Structure 1
Amino acid sequence: MTSLFARSGTHANASCEHGLLQHYLRQHGRGCMAYSTLQPGLEYFIDDKLGYLAYLPLRHPLLAPGRLHVVLGDPIAAVADYEALLDRYLKKTAAAATVFLEVNEDFASILSRRGFPVNELGVEWEIDLASFDSELKGPSFSHLRRWRNKALKEGVKVVEGSICALDQGELSALSADWLRRKGGHEFIGLNRPLALQDEPDVRYLWATQHGRLLSLAVFDPMYRNGKVIGYLHNVSRVLSDAPHGTNDLIVLEALSRFQREGRELLSLGLSPFALLEDGHYRGKPYLRRLFRFMFRHCPFVYPFEGNFFHKDKYRGRPLKVYLSSIPALNLYRVLGVFKALRVL
């Protein structure tokens, strides 16, 4: 058994490290954050017998005076190996503060049992494709029907293909228009940044109106035992003057395609700080209060309520996700997490 650290973009043993990441991702990358562990700027703790943890590193004189690792999502490993991989990581990184961000029930229960505080972070939305009504019948889908029909009436069409088939100037203009309205830069970590070239198993759908590019949606694969079982709707780009409902038309077209292919699920990703409850894990009450306050009163940081409202209209399953840290989070370390994610 060998444990090692690797930095995205380094050359030493790059081929071996990349092969290990790909192997474990394709076997155990079931979570909606799994494919995001391949984004640029991450570092890795890799155990060649168990799997890996991917994290954003931060050094900051005030927010991370030693070193802070922001681990993204669950371990990319078999659930039965989570605890062994955690033990080996902690042994190797005894000097580094670590925040485990957007982890699911299996890993959260291990962290709590080990005495680490665990707080609810929000919910991830999963749509069961086998049972989803793609015709959008009934009052619960009234918003989606209205948005879809409006876009269709205005002549919006959806195409799937290679991202390289798009006019790069038009794509860059679309992305710049979107980012200008979202703070001017890409967030990293919880959202995998848009890559302007095709990537393995990633799907690209876009919308046009009279030949003009209006919107792009990127769907990252989710794996089990070497097979793609579903997708995460990871990236959206839409022009400010696109007809209302354009992006929903893309997502609904993707749902129909994935249904016909026999995929299991579509994840809409995280709604941060949504549906927070006191929970059954021992967490930090001040964090629960902070997250609830941000959900209601901090749209200038992120449109928390709008994100929740929109994803809820697809009537998927809301799955609790959690945050934990070693040692326990203080305010400075919370700000350090925001800094690592480029929220600050």
Structure 2
Amino acid sequence: MSQHAVALERRIAADLSHHDTARRAAVLRQYGGHALSFCTMQPGMSYFEVPGVGYIAFAKYWGMRFALGEPVCPPHLRDAMLTAFVDRYPDAVFVQVGKGVVDHLHARHGYYGTQFGSESRLDLATFSLRGARKQVIRTAINAARADGIEIREGGFDHDVRRISDAWIRTRRCKNNEIRFLIRPMIVDYREGTRYFYAYRDEEAVGFVFFDPLYRDGRLVGYVPNISRSSANFRQGLWYALMAYAIARFQEEGVPCVDLGLTPLMLSDGIEPQESRLLRATLSVIRERMDFLYNFKGLEFAKSRFQGQVEKTYCCHRNALPALAMTAMFRLTRII
């Protein structure tokens, strides 16, 4: 066990059921730079906490534990946090983590690290709406303007439930909001969140909620976590809302926008630590089970912004974790 891991073991609280939201929020504001960091504050999560260092958020389902994103802690203590967590929960599954986490879990603990999707990040210092591939965004902005849409930032409005419920009924995952990988729309902890609304005749017809990203105690960006539009409004309003918000962030000097996970957007090559069985299964789900979730539509929409794409992974013990994958899809309410 490394020196860092030994030091962390000495600091782990004996009663992991005792949590301090304010303490976690302070850690989040210091080290919450992952696209899912803010989602770790959603209701129903459990926490593996090291007082004074950080935490790993996880959900329990069907007797299994699913760690959400990467540890929220100082970067140099990440591997020690992972080792301490795996020592306590040796069969945990890690969802939406980067290559650094994969390499540690594979080399140290024998985990598979299989690509689960991709993330895309926009450098706002250089971002613009020029270029052929961004024509769809420019067209959406013009269409919204022609339809009398006004976009503006505001506070949290509980009336968004009306739009959301109508929107969900049009989705392939009907009746329930997706959870875990996406935080609930209405949560108790909202510090630093931003809300952009589209209005027509002063009636809200769509919105995008952004969660903050932090590094070294500084705000470094936002991630769009919740987006909805009226079922009566044609497609494209999301582009107009995103473009408006990005322009506002650029004016404020915000460094980046992370577009978050595009599930099952997979590269062609297979890395040595990946499970070929799981990769083949995920490819089949993407190609033949689009009725579960609009995988290709989301990939197309996010790709229009031409961000810097990075792979994201799921770390698991078994070559074909069929039960764990089924449990995760149930946990997220995709099935």
TM-score, reference length from structure 2? 0.91
* Equivalent of residue 50 in structure 1, options 40, 48, 53: 53
* Equivalent of residue 304 in structure 2, options 287, 308, 313: 313
* Equivalent of residue 112 in structure 1, options 82, 106, 112: 106
Letter in structure 2 aligned against 1:108: V
Q: Deviations over 1:252-302 (max 9, x none)?
A: 011001111111110111111113333334121111111111112212111
1:324 correspondence with 2:320? no
User: 1:104-253 residue pairs with structure 2 within 5 A?
Assistant: 104-114=98-108, 115-133=110-128, 136-163=129-156, 166=157, 168=158, 170-182=159-171, 183-195=174-186, 199-253=190-244
Structure 1 stretches (4+) deviating beyond 3 angstroms? 4-7, 326-329
Mapped partners of 1:48, 1:33: distance in 2: 21
Provide the residue aligned with 1:2 in structure 2: 11
User: 1:59-78 residue pairs with structure 2 within 5 A?
Assistant: 59=62, 67-78=63-74
Matched-pair contact (CA < 8 Å) for 1:123–1:274: yes
Deviates more, 1:170-179 or 1:124-133: 170-179
Deviation for aligned residue 1:327: 5.0
Provide the residue aligned with 1:10 in structure 2: none
Mapped partners of 2:227, 2:150: distance in 1: 16
1:93 correspondence with 2:96? no
For this pair of structures, how many residues does the alignment match? 322
Deviation for aligned residue 1:146: 1.0
Deviates more, 1:183-192 or 1:278-287: 278-287
Provide the residue aligned with 2:294 in structure 1: 303
Mapped partners of 2:35, 2:51: distance in 1: 23
Structure 1's 160 and 191: CA in aligned 2 closer, same or farther, altered over 3 A?
Answer: same
Secondary structure in structure 2 of the residue aligned to 1:88? helix
Letter in structure 2 aligned against 1:304: F
1:336 correspondence with 2:332? no
Deviation for aligned residue 1:31: 0.8
Provide the residue aligned with 1:62 in structure 2: none
Mapped partners of 2:82, 2:114: distance in 1: 18
Secondary structure in structure 2 of the residue aligned to 1:77? coil
Mapped partners of 1:309, 1:6: distance in 2: 42
Structure 1's 229 and 192: CA in aligned 2 closer, same or farther, altered over 3 A?
Answer: same
Mapped partners of 2:258, 2:175: distance in 1: 26
1:287 correspondence with 2:283? no
| Runs of at least 5 residues in structure 1 that lack an aligned partner in the other structure | 8-12, 60-66
Using the aligned pairs only, state the percent identity.
Answer: 27
Mapped partners of 1:281, 1:49: distance in 2: 36
Secondary structure in structure 2 of the residue aligned to 1:76? coil
Deviation for aligned residue 1:103: 0.1
Letter in structure 2 aligned against 1:103: V
Letter in structure 2 aligned against 1:127: L
1:28 correspondence with 2:36? no
Q: Deviations over 1:213-264 (max 9, x none)?
A: 1001100000011121100010001111124322211110110011111111
Matched-pair contact (CA < 8 Å) for 2:221–2:255: yes
Letter in structure 1 aligned against 2:92: T
CA RMSD of aligned residues (A): 1.7
